[in-house]
Amino acid sequence: MSEKTKTVLCFLFFIAVILTRIYFETSVFASKSFFNYFVVIHHLCWYIFVFYYFSSCNRYILKMSPSKIRYTALLSPVIMIPVVHAAISGKNLDLGYLDGSLKENLIHMATLYRNHPKNGEFFIEMVILLAIFIAGSWFFSKSWKRTLLNVLAGFYGSMIFAGLHLFGVAPRTKAYFPINTALQNHQLMSLIYFSLAVLFFLIYSYPEIRSYLLHDKIRWLITLFAGILLSLTLNLMFFEKFYLKSPRFFDYLLMLFPYMVLLAGTNSIDSSVNGKFKAGRFFPSFFSVVGILIITGIYLRI
């Protein structure tokens, strides 16, 4: 089996686990089902962001190779623990981002949500993940300094960046950073975490693609400029027509990312480009498809 195939299969396994967790959490074991198109995309992008955030920490702090990091995707079934707990206890899940007092939320994070009124079901999952982080970090680095740094930056860092209710639709939000937008909450969050997922995928993959990016800067600058121009043009022409609301500044800004990713993905069809990625065309194509799903869903008000 080729290295590319192994990478793709590990990632697809991860995606299958994610989608299973999303379905059971938002439909089967929710007090009131809220399983829908943008809930799936929002949660999907959130998990992919967290995965590549973890992967970037493992690569640059622990110096793990991508050939080993890809297998961390096989540990993803640990995220099913809250679902299993709900199935056994008969108690519905009501998990969510942390809002309110930052001091209290930092305490909840430090205690792995044990006493949180909604996220207490995360506790066992967090304990196991923390144990994996500590043991794995030590195994690959043999350094307590790198182990501590990876736990703080990777494990607790992800809890801050992905666990706090950082963003939300103004004015009816308890988010720390309310955003003035014409979009609905899950649409906004899909765009934000899609952008972060792509960003950390690029950070993780940078050693492989660096030489090409530096060698052919003009091509990529043209690609990014074309993506920006296409996004602004189509949103000016069609956003209000289809969405029935006028876009705000942050809508224009966030909508740049799926268009830029789409054109970058198209650009990556070239074998001289996709050969720099661990799985060839797969990841540029995958992110392009997710970007298309977001754009289409917003325009069609799905």
Residues 6+ apart with CB under 8 A from 270: none
Report the distance separating Cα 282 and Cα 91, nearest Å: 39
Give yes or no for a contact between 42 and 169, defined as CB atoms under 8 angstroms apart. Answer: no
Report the distance separating Cα 238 and Cα 256, nearest Å: 14
Q: How far apart are the first and last CA of the chain?
A: 40
Does the global pTM surpass 0.75? yes
pLDDT below 70 — which residues of the chain?
270-280
Instruction: Identify the H or E element spanning 194.
Output: helix 185-215
Closest CA to 81 of 126, 32, 116: 126
Strand partners, 93: 30
Give yes or no for a contact between 231 and 259, defined as CB atoms under 8 angstroms apart. Answer: yes
Q: For a pLDDT cut of 70, what percent of the chain falls above it?
A: 96
Give 161's DSSP letter: I
Q: Residue 117: what pLDDT? A: 86
CB atoms < 10 A from the CB of 210, how many?
A: 11
CB atoms < 10 A from the CB of 76, how many?
A: 19
Give yes or no for a contact between 212 and 221, defined as CB atoms under 8 angstroms apart. Answer: no
Q: Residue 271: what pLDDT? A: 63
Where are the domains positioned within the chain? 184-302
